[in-house]
Amino acid sequence: MKPLFITAALSAAFLLPTTSYAASENECAIWLCLPAAFAVDGCGAAKDAFIDRIKHFKPPIPSFTSCMYTGDLPSGTPDSSEMSSVTGAAAYVPAREECKRWGMFGNECMESEIIPSRIVKDQSCRRAEGGEHNPRHCTKTIHYVQTKLDGQLYGDPYYYDNNGGTYVEGSTQLEN
């Protein structure tokens, strides 16, 4: 009876479904390309994988551990390493034109300037009572991801929306 029980227990252990944690090569390349905002040659496929993950409501970047192994992770393997990422929300304030000098009667702008876009990290864009947005002039809430190496931030935050659109702080391009 004892050998039959051991055989059944071992068979059950090997027949239990295991979750495949290994990310694709392109998904793992996100770790290398993200700190450079995908601007490096050869990062197009990694950016496509990043956008695909966002559109399918997955975390924007796979766990670093899933990129260190091929196939299934051994049971009990900790999901920790020296590489990690931080994600969050950010309020997007687009570039805008602001009048600096008004005409004699105050109804005609004589001189204007472009105020560059800005991003307020770790804050959502909210509409306050009376129609004002907080932070002022924000138009939407976007997301960011930033990599960490040995617990320290590595590279700049990468800002994106749920459709894979990207956002840059300091842009002077006016939206239509």
Taking the C-alpha atoms of residue 1 and residue 9, their distance in angstroms, rounded to an integer, is: 12
Note whether residue 9 is domain-resident. no
Note whether residue 124 is domain-resident. yes
Task: List pLDDT tens digits, range 40-74.
Answer: 899 999 999 999 999 999 999 998 888 876 655 55
Domain tally, the chain: 1
Note whether residue 102 is domain-resident. yes
Task: List pLDDT tens digits, range 83-125.
Answer: 889 999 999 999 999 999 998 887 899 999 999 999 999 999 9
Q: Kindly list the distances between the CA atom of residue 78 and the CA atoms of 39, 66, 73, 98, 155, in Å, as whole numbers in the listed order.
A: 32, 11, 9, 53, 25
Query: What's the pTM value of the predicted model, to 2 decimals?
Result: 0.70
Domain span at 142: 21-72+80-167
